Amino acid sequence: MGACCNRADNGSPADISAGPDGPDRGEEPAIWKIGAGLLLAGNTMTVGLAISSVEAADNITLFIYIVLFASVVIVFELLGWPLAKGAWQGLKRWRINFDMFFLIAVVAAVGASMVSIATGAGAVYFEVAAILLVIHGIGRRVGTVNQRRAVDAARCFAADDTLVRRRDDNGRLETVASSRLEVGDRIVVGPGDRIVVDGTVHRGVALVRDTEITGETFATARRSGDGVFAGSYSVDGTLEIEATATAGSRVIDEVVDSVHHAWKRPSRWQRQARKTIRWFVPLVLMTTAVTFAAWTVAVDWTTGLFYALAVLLVACPCALGFAVPLAVWMTMGKWAARGMVPAHGQCVETMSRVDTVVFDKTGTLTEPAPGLVDFVIDDDGDVKEPLLRRLVVAVEEQIDHPVARALQTLDSDLCSKRCEPEMMVESTRLIAGLGIEATVRTVGATYRLRIGSTELVDELDDREFWRLERLKRRAIVASCARVVAVVVDDRIAAVAVVDEQVRRRVQRGLERLDEMGLEVGLMTGDAVERTEPFDVDWVHARMTPVQKRDQVRRLQQQGRTVLFVGDGVNDAAAMATADVAIDVDGGAQLAAGVGDLRWCGEHLEAIPDAIDAARQAFSVVRFNLGFATVYNVVGIAVAAAGLLHPVVAAVLMMSSSLFVTWTTTGSLETQRQAPTGDHSPTGGDLELLDRCGAPDSG
């Protein structure tokens, strides 16, 4: 039986519920238990075949049978109790599930073996019982481990046990747990501190970085009266914030709740599996019972048990199980070779049905960090360009900020000379909300630099203001790019333009999605002007995380199967709501926990490649499922007619699985060896894949 992991349940073939609040810890079997069970099952099969093919003394044979039975008992002790628990829960709800079917098959195999040992006639089937238990245990672990990863990431991000500084009624600061905060409390947040409430700035000025909440690339200045969100943090100043929403009612809490609820949604395959259970399991059990009764009346009860077991063994839906996971794993291998690392196998089926692809912009279609677009100096200035570049780099290397990192590339052609011994940064001072001031000493001269917002020039005379305007007119400045002023000794010396950098080959990737008949949209928390470089069907700008989620729901209500590609906490709710989600490597932890796939490559063409591979895999799966259905119907009929020995039934069961394996590997391996176009993985893609890791075990 194959394991189909998905975002709605733990993905075990037994349709096991993870409970109302997600997976329970300890539900999945430990790796060592699965390994021990697999070892015992293999030994049981080897010894069982050996004892069936050679003659031995009765006492030796009985001893071996006792050992084989003990092996099955040990495997059940290791892996079987969750199976029994699931079957019992289904029985209490008057539902026949795959847990019950597995348990009946295990009990029937052991029971028939006991009858064979007692009567001295027939074969034993202890190895069948052991193998079924191992398969069930593997499916359970594959599902619960992957579901828990995302739930734990969500809980970790919204943790409420952070210590914060709160101002009491007397104006004194006290340290309290963030879980004790109430609406109206005022907290003090220093440089580098995380903001744990939604609120309004009561006092202070600072750059606040809230990329993970709003999707904005740059930290923005927040002053008295401005709103802030939990999950953002102060970059360079101290703020006193009055809480308007505390733990449980913040924007981030609503995002996390969306993640939790998304995991409870039944997937398409799960719904289909439940429909199959409603007729397939009762049909097999009824056929088994009728076969036992008919042959008992016609011959005797041992014959009836003999052929009833044949029905159970030939009907064990292993072929149905193999039809899916083999295609899934081969497809995931193809994805990984293109820098697309899957978290579980359910996304293959969902990706094959995708008809709408929605992108976040910042960090998804653009590079995670802004880059330097232009650098224009004042030709009449006293500092020449090479020296000015090195001065700027020396100052910006003192801080860790996206704009600073972009300016650090100014001397890329002179990297070996960066910060030479004769150049020393003597002092630095952050100017809250504006930039940085520093004194740099070189051989024979000392310079005072101020680098940051163009508001720095407001403190200078009109002549410097007009010099700044002339430099800005010479620079390449997009509508929403950030202009950084460089002031040396109270004279404007240069302007730098920092802006988002579009990822390589984005346009070709968008064109391929359009050629495949997919609708492509863009949702961003940024201004609509920043979406102009992207040729998509529609754009929604200035969106909050909740608005993104609601828009995805509207698309689904229109009958769309939505793929969402994002990278930040601001995307997590939409990603959790979407039918399938891709998180960009390097994004927020919560987004990485929600995503069904992690994109570690550099080329957007990996996404249409992944969808195309999923469509090919689903074609193979559809053929194999058809074969497995026909096989089961014919096999059950032949076994019920008394034309199938239980050993032959077991052989047919394995043969059907081998056939499914052969057709799957043959079809998908051919596709793998013949990639189309120029979309094969590059060395850079493979290096990124190594950095991101191999496909997860789920």
Which pLDDT tens digit goes with each residue over 554-577? 999 999 999 999 876 678 888 889
Q: Is the pLDDT of residue 629 over 70?
A: yes
Least confident of 273-282, 422-431, 474-483, 510-519: 273-282
Strand partners, 445: 442
Strand partners, 227: 200
Angstrom distance (rounded) from CA 12 to CA 273: 11
Local confidence band at 62 (pLDDT 50, 70, 90 cut-offs) = confident
- The reported pLDDT for the residue numbered 430 is 82
- Using an 8 Å Cβ cutoff, are 621 and 375 in contact? no
Question: Hunting for tokens 């008949």 — which residue is that?
Answer: 517
Angstrom distance (rounded) from CA 214 to CA 229: 9
Write out the E strands in 500-586. 519-523, 538-540, 562-566, 580-584
Q: Which two tokens stand for residue 82?
A: 């969750």
Angstrom distance (rounded) from CA 539 to CA 525: 11
Q: Is the pLDDT of residue 673 over 50?
A: no
Mean pLDDT of 505-528: 89
Alpha-carbon torsion (633, 636, 638, 644), positive or negative: positive
**How many of the other CB atoms lie within 10 Å of CB of 262?**
20
- The reported pLDDT for the residue numbered 539 is 92
How far is residue 32 CA from its own chain's centroid?
26
Mean pLDDT of 42-52: 71
- The reported pLDDT for the residue numbered 632 is 82
Using alpha carbons only, what angle is made at residue 526 by residues 524 and 532, rounded to the nearest 5 degrees? 85
**How many of the other CB atoms lie within 10 Å of CB of 529?**
10
Look over the chain and give the mean of its residue pLDDT values, rounded to a whole number. Answer: 75
The pair phi, psi for residue 434, each rounded to 5°, is: -120, -50
- The reported pLDDT for the residue numbered 348 is 80
Angstrom distance (rounded) from CA 435 to CA 159: 32
- Using an 8 Å Cβ cutoff, are 486 and 492 in contact? yes
Q: Coil, strand or helix: which one is 182?
A: coil
- Using an 8 Å Cβ cutoff, are 292 and 302 in contact? no
Least confident of 53-62, 92-101, 259-268, 678-687: 678-687
* DSSP state letters, 6-28: -SSS---TT-----TTSPPTT-S
- The reported pLDDT for the residue numbered 149 is 52
Angstrom distance (rounded) from CA 521 to CA 503: 17
Most confident range, picked from 239-243, 332-336, 497-501: 239-243
**How many of the other CB atoms lie within 10 Å of CB of 617?**
27
Angstrom distance (rounded) from CA 292 to CA 298: 10
For residue 275, the surrounding DSSP H or E stretch is: helix 268-298
- The reported pLDDT for the residue numbered 80 is 84
Mean pLDDT of 466-491: 82
Angstrom distance (rounded) from CA 216 to CA 360: 11
- The reported pLDDT for the residue numbered 15 is 36
Question: Hunting for tokens 């863009």 — which residue is that?
Answer: 522
Least confident of 133-147, 160-174, 525-539, 668-682: 668-682
Write out the E strands in 210-260. 220-222, 227-228, 233-234, 239-245
Mean pLDDT of 2-13: 34
Angstrom distance (rounded) from CA 531 to CA 529: 5
Q: Is the pLDDT of residue 459 over 60?
A: yes
Least confident of 67-81, 148-162, 644-658: 148-162
Local confidence band at 293 (pLDDT 50, 70, 90 cut-offs) = very high
Q: Which residues contact 161 (CB under 8 A, 6 or more apart)?
A: 177, 178, 179
Least confident of 4-8, 475-479, 644-648: 4-8
**How many of the other CB atoms lie within 10 Å of CB of 295?**
20
Most confident range, picked from 140-144, 328-332, 521-525, 688-692: 521-525
Local confidence band at 201 (pLDDT 50, 70, 90 cut-offs) = very high
More confident residue, 149 or 207: 207
More confident residue, 30 or 222: 222
Most confident range, picked from 90-94, 426-430, 660-664: 426-430
More confident residue, 304 or 149: 304
- Using an 8 Å Cβ cutoff, are 576 and 262 in contact? yes
Strands ordered across the beta sheet of 206-209: 220-222, 206-209, 233-234
Q: Which residues contact 25 (CB under 8 A, 6 or more apart)?
A: 148
Strand partners, 165: 175, 188
Nearest C-alpha neighbor of 516 from the set 280, 287, 305, 357: 357
**How many of the other CB atoms lie within 10 Å of CB of 221?**
18
Angstrom distance (rounded) from CA 31 to CA 36: 9
Least confident of 258-267, 359-368, 581-590: 258-267
- The reported pLDDT for the residue numbered 121 is 66
Query: What helix, strand, coil percent values describe the chain, rounded to 5?
Result: 50, 15, 30
- Using an 8 Å Cβ cutoff, are 452 and 218 in contact? no
Strand partners, 424: 441
Angstrom distance (rounded) from CA 380 to CA 390: 18
More confident residue, 318 or 51: 51
- The reported pLDDT for the residue numbered 247 is 83
Angstrom distance (rounded) from CA 441 to CA 461: 25
More confident residue, 287 or 258: 287
How far is residue 344 CA from its own chain's centroid?
8
Least confident of 37-41, 421-425, 442-446, 541-545: 421-425
For residue 166, the surrounding DSSP H or E stretch is: strand 163-167
Q: Which two tokens stand for residue 529?
A: 């002007």
Mean pLDDT of 220-244: 87
